[in-house]
Structure 1
Amino acid sequence: MSPTLAEGYEQIQSGGTRAWEEAFMVVDQSRVVLGSNADDDDSYINASYVSIKRAHRNYILAQGPLENTCNDFWQMVWEQNVPAVIMLNKLLESGRHKCATYFPSKSVRSVEFDDYTVELECEEQHHNFVVRKIRLKKHGDGDEAERSVLHVQYTEWPDFGVPASTKCFLNMLRYIQSHNVLSVKDDDPPCIVHCSAGIGRSGTFILVDGVLRMVN
Structure 2
Amino acid sequence: MWFLTSSSESISQFIATKGPLPHTYEDFWEMVIQYHCPVIVMLTRLVDNYKTAKCGDYFRAEDGPRDFGNICLVTKWMETTNTSLVLRNLEVSYKESDKAPMSVLHVQYPEWPDHGVPKDTVAVREILKRVYQVPTNLGPVVVHCSAGIGRTGTYCTIHNTIQRILVGDMSALDLANTITIFRSQRVGLVQTMEQYFFCYKAIVDELEDLISECND
Partner of 2:181: none
Match runs of 1:1-216 below 5 Å: 47-54=1-8, 56-94=11-49, 95-106=51-62, 108-126=63-81, 127-142=83-98, 144-178=99-133, 180-181=134-135, 183=136, 189-216=139-166
**Identical-pair percentage:** 31
Show structure 2 runs of 5+ residues with no match.
Answer: 167-216
Give the count of matched residue pairs: 163
Q: Aligned partner of 1:213: which letter?
A: Q
Q: Counterparts of 1:82 and 1:194 in 2: how far apart (Å)? A: 13
Q: Counterparts of 2:90 and 2:54 in 1: how far apart (Å)? A: 21
Show structure 1 runs of 5+ residues with no match.
Answer: 1-46
Q: Counterparts of 1:117 and 1:140 in 2: how far apart (Å)? A: 10
Q: Aligned partner of 2:6: which letter?
A: I
Relative to total residues, which structure has the larger strand share, 1 or 2? 1
Post-superposition CA distance 1:8-61 (Å, at most 9, x none): xxxxxxxxxxxxxxxxxxxxxxxxxxxxxxxxxxxxxxx111113256321100
TM-score, normalised relative to structure 1: 0.71
TM-score, normalised relative to structure 2: 0.71
CA contact (8 A) 1:104 1:110 kept: no
Q: Counterparts of 2:22 and 2:119 in 1: how far apart (Å)? A: 28
CA RMSD of aligned residues (A): 1.6
Give the 4+ runs in structure 1 shifted more than 4 A.
none
Moved more, 72-81 or 51-60: 51-60
Relative to total residues, which structure has the larger helix share, 1 or 2? 2
